[in-house]
């Protein structure tokens, strides 16, 4: 869908006394961004009225009378710039509504830990949240956020992150990441259903008007086959329900029995909430839209691996030949864990697959890196106008040895990075992006550089850690030269040689 947006990074330029006054003058009570009118009877109503046009990023995807799954999907975020802005948007809404109804809000330990692990530079809201959380402290609520209220109490019990993580190359190096966070919310009072943001979104209404057939929505060509990604399932749910239909799915989780997509989300989230798995859909899924009052809007998606076969309508006989049962699965028949045949993906698996794919596309760099890791010596190689130079970067706290290969051709410079753990196979960890030392790191490096050099002379090597950067010095055993390298997350940022 065309209305998805990249995560915004808010930067505030402040100076002197004004900064001190803004950042440390205390935190006033959160005020609702929209008035609490008679049509807002619940936390879901508040989100719906405030965020309807953010569907695609911010959504309510599954509902029961006393439970809701809120999804925030972030698109194309630089992996080295991950921050807490999307978490703060969800907390903003919960706090605003809770205070508006006179409730007492508590930050959960999970929310506090998440904010601490995702620094968000130059953001007043982030500083405010950190200050408030520090004053409250841990141990008041183990979940994410709790609003105690006799009128409409609710809890965001937990947040599951990195849902359906996807990675792709970024121009200049590095990776762009797309992922979701799911928030399971429970309500003291029964809630009305069908509070989907896309029902009220002007942007989504415009999208549907421009794409008035399922073929246009899924961008179907003559082959009727399209690449699979998580968004296909989201598109199917929105388009089917917007036109008055019901979306169903059958896969290994439901033992290939028919299950409503919202029940499926609840069941799958319950399965993976405490596990490393991040995939919502399986390797094989049968997804279809039933719409008895508008048969022209019915469709079927057959997901198998990396592709989807699209079919007009719902052919039950065809689905039954694939093992699909139209006896509805119920929540109490869904197993608490998936079968051993089900393919589960973790964040680590997704990243490893991405890196392996990148490594297979490289030329001689892996061989040069292996030589450098084995010999622990830098080397050089020229192939026509291309010059390769390697750097042995030593051992990191994870016990793995690291090396980099710099490829120079005219004005172009690419740095590819590798590691080897305990004599195992070489692993590609990615290309160095457009990185540079922060001014703070540069100043701190000046203060420790003499000590670093002195230690290097005495011990033939030395290491200093400044914020996210690692500075290393290696003495060449054959002469009096020293090599200096700067690493970030194991990737070489820069290197130099001195005496």
Only one residue has tokens 């105690």, namely: 148
Neighbours of 320 (CB within 10 A): 11
Taking 90 as the threshold, does the pLDDT of residue 151 lie above it?
Answer: yes
Q: Which residues contact 319 (CB under 8 A, 6 or more apart)?
A: 250, 286, 288, 300, 326
Please name the helix (run of DSSP H) or strand (run of DSSP E) that holds residue 407, with its range, or none: strand 400-409
- Angle subtended by helix axes 230-242 and 202-210, to nearest 10: 90
Rg for the chain (alpha carbons), in Å?
Answer: 26
Look at residue 291 and tell me whether its pLDDT is greater than 80: yes
Give the dihedral of Cα atoms 131, 134, 138, 143; nearest 10 deg.
10
Q: Are 308 and 232 in contact (CB under 8 A)?
A: yes
The pLDDT of residue 3 is 43
d(CA 467, CA 489): 11
Structure tokens at 174: 């590095």
Residues in the chain: 499
Q: For 4-13, 362-371, 423-432, 439-448, which range has the lowest pLDDT when averaged over its residues?
A: 4-13
- Residue 430 CA to residue 362 CA, distance in Å, equals 11
Give percent of the chain above pLDDT 70: 84
pLDDT for the residue 444: 77
Q: Where are the alpha helices (DSSP H) in 11-123?
A: 16-24, 43-51, 85-100, 109-117
pLDDT of residue 92: 95
Report the half-sphere exposure of 208 (CA within 13 A, side-chain side): 17
Output DSSP code: residue 252. G
Report the chain's mean pLDDT, rounded to a whole number.
84
Contacts of residue 425, defined as CB under 8 A and 6 or more positions apart, other chains included, come to none
pLDDT digits (tens, 9 = 90+) for 13-63: 322 332 222 222 233 345 557 788 888 999 999 999 999 999 889 999 999
Provide the β-strand partners of residue 63.
Answer: 68
The pLDDT value given to residue 499: 64
Question: 């246009």: which residue's tokens?
Answer: 216
C-alpha–C-alpha distance, residues 87 and 278, integer Å: 18
Q: Where are the alpha helices (DSSP H) in 60-108?
A: 85-100
Dump pLDDT digits (tens) for 109-150. 999 999 888 877 667 888 899 999 999 999 999 999 999 999
- 8 A C-beta contact, residue 248 and residue 298: no
Q: Which two tokens stand for residue 277?
A: 């798995």
Sort 103 into a burial class: Cβ within 10 Å, 0-12 / 13-18 / 19+. Answer: buried
CA distance 157 to 451: 49
Q: Provide φ and ψ at 147, rounded to 5°.
A: -115, 110
Cα 279 to Cα 238, 315, 331, 338, distances in angstroms? 19, 27, 19, 12
Contact 376, 392 (CB under 8 A): yes
pLDDT for res 172:
58
Q: Are 75 and 4 in contact (CB under 8 A)?
A: yes
Tell me how crowded residue 335 is: count the other CB atoms within 10 A of its CB: 12
User: In a 10 Å sphere around its CB, with 0-12 CB exposed, 13-18 middle and 19+ buried, how is residue 497 labelled?
Assistant: exposed
End-to-end CA distance of the chain: 57
**Contact between residue 111 and residue 87 where contact means Cβ atoms under 8 Å apart:** yes
Binned at pLDDT 50, 70 and 90, residue 440 comes out as confident
Over residues 174-226, the pLDDT tens digits come to 678 899 999 999 999 999 999 999 999 999 999 999 998 889 999 888 888 89
For residues 102 and 56, the answer to whether their CB atoms sit within 8 Å is no
- Quick check: 218 and 226 in contact, CB under 8 A? yes
Which has more confidence, 434 or 455? Answer: 455
Q: Is the pLDDT of residue 437 over 90?
A: no
Instruction: State the helix-helix crossing angle for 85-100 and 43-51, rounded to 10 degrees.
Output: 130
The region that residue 172 occupies, defined by phi over 0 for left and psi between -120 and 50 for alpha, beta otherwise, is left
Q: Give 255's DSSP letter.
A: T
Q: Which residues contact 250 (CB under 8 A, 6 or more apart)?
A: 256, 257, 258, 259, 285, 286, 319, 324, 325
- Where do we find the tokens 């051993």? 340
């Amino acid at each position: 869908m065309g209305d998805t947006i990249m995560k915004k990074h808010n930067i505030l330029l402040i100076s002197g006394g004004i900064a001190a006054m803004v950042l440390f003058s205390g935190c006033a009570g959160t005020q609702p961004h929209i008035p609490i009118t008679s049509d807002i009877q619940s936390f879901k109503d508040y989100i719906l009225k405030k965020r309807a046009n953010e569907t695609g990023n911010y959504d309510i995807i599954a509902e029961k009378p006393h439970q809701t799954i809120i999804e925030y999907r972030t698109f194309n975020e630089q992996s080295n710039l991950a921050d807490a802005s999307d978490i703060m948007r969800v907390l903003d809404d919960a706090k605003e509504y809770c205070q508006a109804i006179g409730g007492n809000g508590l930050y959960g330990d999970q929310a506090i830990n998440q904010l601490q692990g995702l620094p968000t530079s130059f953001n007043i809201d982030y500083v405010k949240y950190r200050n408030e959380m520090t004053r409250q402290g841990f141990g008041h609520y183990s979940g994410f956020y709790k609003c105690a209220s006799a009128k409409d109490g609710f809890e965001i019990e937990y947040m599951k992150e990195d849902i359906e993580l996807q990675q792709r190359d970024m121009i200049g190096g590095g990776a762009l990441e797309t992922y979701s966070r799911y928030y399971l919310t429970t309500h003291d009072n029964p809630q009305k259903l069908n509070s989907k943001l896309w029902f009220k979104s002007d942007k989504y209404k415009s999208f549907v008007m421009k794409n008035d057939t399922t073929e246009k929505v899924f961008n179907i060509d003559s082959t009727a086959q399209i690449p699979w990604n998580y968004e296909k399932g989201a598109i199917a749910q929105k388009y089917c329900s917007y036109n008055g239909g019901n979306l169903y799915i059958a896969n290994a989780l439901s033992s290939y029995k028919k299950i409503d997509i919202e029940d499926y989300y609840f069941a799958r989230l319950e399965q993976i909430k405490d596990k490393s798995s991040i995939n919502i859909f399986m390797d094989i899924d049968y997804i279809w839209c039933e719409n008895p009052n508008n048969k022209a809007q019915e469709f079927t998606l057959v997901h198998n691996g990396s592709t989807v076969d699209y079919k007009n309508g719902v052919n039950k006989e065809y689905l039954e030949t694939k093992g699909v049962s139209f006896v509805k699965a119920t929540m109490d028949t869904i197993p608490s864990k998936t079968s051993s045949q089900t393919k589960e993906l973790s964040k680590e698996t997704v990243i490893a697959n991405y890196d392996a794919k990148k490594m297979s596309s490289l030329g001689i760099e892996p061989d040069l890196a292996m030589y450098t890791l084995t010999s622990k010596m830098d080397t050089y190689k020229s192939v026509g106008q291309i010059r390769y130079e390697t750097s042995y970067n030593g051992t990191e706290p994870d016990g793995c040895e690291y090396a980099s290969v710099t490829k120079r051709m005219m004005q172009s410079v690419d740095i590819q990075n590798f590691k080897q753990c305990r004599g195992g196979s070489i692993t590609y960890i990615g290309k160095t992006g457009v990185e540079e030392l922060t001014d703070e790191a540069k100043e701190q490096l000046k203060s420790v550089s003499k000590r670093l050099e002195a230690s290097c002379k005495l011990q033939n090597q030395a290491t200093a850690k400044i914020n996210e950067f690692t500075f290393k010095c290696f003495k060449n055993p054959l002469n009096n030269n020293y090599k200096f390298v700067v690493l970030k997350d194991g990737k070489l940022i820069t290197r130099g040689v001195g005496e």
